Amino acid sequence: MHSPLSIGIDTSCYTTSVACTDGKSIVFSKGTMLSVAFGDRGLRQSEGLFQHIRQLSPLLCELLSNVDKDDVACVSVSASPTAAPDSYMPVFLAGLAQAETLAAALGVPLIRTDHQSGHIRAALYGNETLLGRERFLAIHISGGTTDLLLVEPHRDAPYRIDRIGCSTDLHAGQFVDRVGVALGLPFPAGKHLEALARTAAQMDVKLASAVKGTDCSFSGAESAAQRLLHTVPDAELAYGVYDCLARTLSKMFDHAVQTYGRLPILVCGGVASSGLLRTMLGKRFSGELYFGKPELSSDNAVGVAFLGADRRALWTN
């Protein structure tokens, strides 16, 4: 008898992804990014939903051809952006519909989770020691969130998430993407803006960092960056964006540990894949920082699959 498998499905705003785990290792993982026209800064939900419907079936067929279907013990899916009761986006309906059908066809339980929880669990792959902690902090930084989170064990799930801070306007990924697209870079702009920032000859551009307690704001910094277009070298402006992100997040961390104690902080989400940002945060914040694997920081179904395996393990223990 092989180890029971958990299939994970995630249909986020910009990536269709599927994954499979045996609870300890990644058995299969593959995703396809949604197509965004050059110069655009995103997709309408209706267009995203349409692309997910087209892309998900081939991905699931490839996954199922690489595993023994008799070993599948559950299907897990991100049914919403976060665990908040009112959290909803239409794009997640594509994954939910396929997951419901697949679970019924295989005769296994369907486990609903959320995209943010999946990001946290994916970042915990390789950082499993945090799962044994009484609680820890996490920051989820992406195009749709800049959420500072308190993560605690829960009897009915691997953990419970409470948001203790956030951006009051633009999210970290939106800040990066808006400046990147204005500089003529493709969307999503993160890896392109980082590559540009690494070529900066000077590091003098300082965009204002707006933090109040554990909340932050990026709209002022983004407006300032737009005003600097064509007045400073592109690479220096790009570096200034990452410098602003690092200063902002570090201030949020400082306020959080003052309130909740010197808890470890897990950094996850698409923006967290930036090696430049990781280095900057490590230099600015003296506390205990953990980072997920860069390849698992962008949207993917790995964390969703692991959450299914975790939940099933709770049921069987």
> 3-state DSSP helix/strand/coil percent for the chain, to nearest 5?
45, 25, 35
User: What are the tokens at 212?
Assistant: 């109040």
Tens place of pLDDT per residue across the chain (317 aa): 578 999 999 999 999 999 999 999 999 999 999 999 888 888 899 999 999 999 999 999 999 999 999 999 999 999 999 999 999 999 999 999 999 999 999 999 999 999 999 999 999 999 988 987 889 999 999 999 999 999 998 777 778 999 999 999 999 999 999 999 999 999 999 999 999 999 999 999 999 999 999 999 999 999 999 999 999 999 999 999 999 999 999 999 999 999 999 999 999 999 999 999 999 999 999 999 999 999 999 999 999 999 999 999 887 76
Domain boundaries, the chain: 5-123+297-316, 172-291
- The rounded radius of gyration (Å) of the Cα atoms in the chain is 20
Cα distance between residue 225 and residue 219, in whole Å? 10
Instruction: Establish whether domains 5-123+297-316 and 172-291 are of one fold.
Output: yes
Say if residues 165 and 256 touch (Cβ distance below 8 Å). yes
Q: What's the CATH class of domain 5-123+297-316? A: alpha beta
Distance CA 253, CA 162 (A): 15
User: Right CATH number for 172-291 from 3.90.550.50, 3.30.420.40, 3.40.50.300, 3.40.1390.10?
Assistant: 3.30.420.40
User: Strand pairing of 157-166 and 146-154?
Assistant: antiparallel
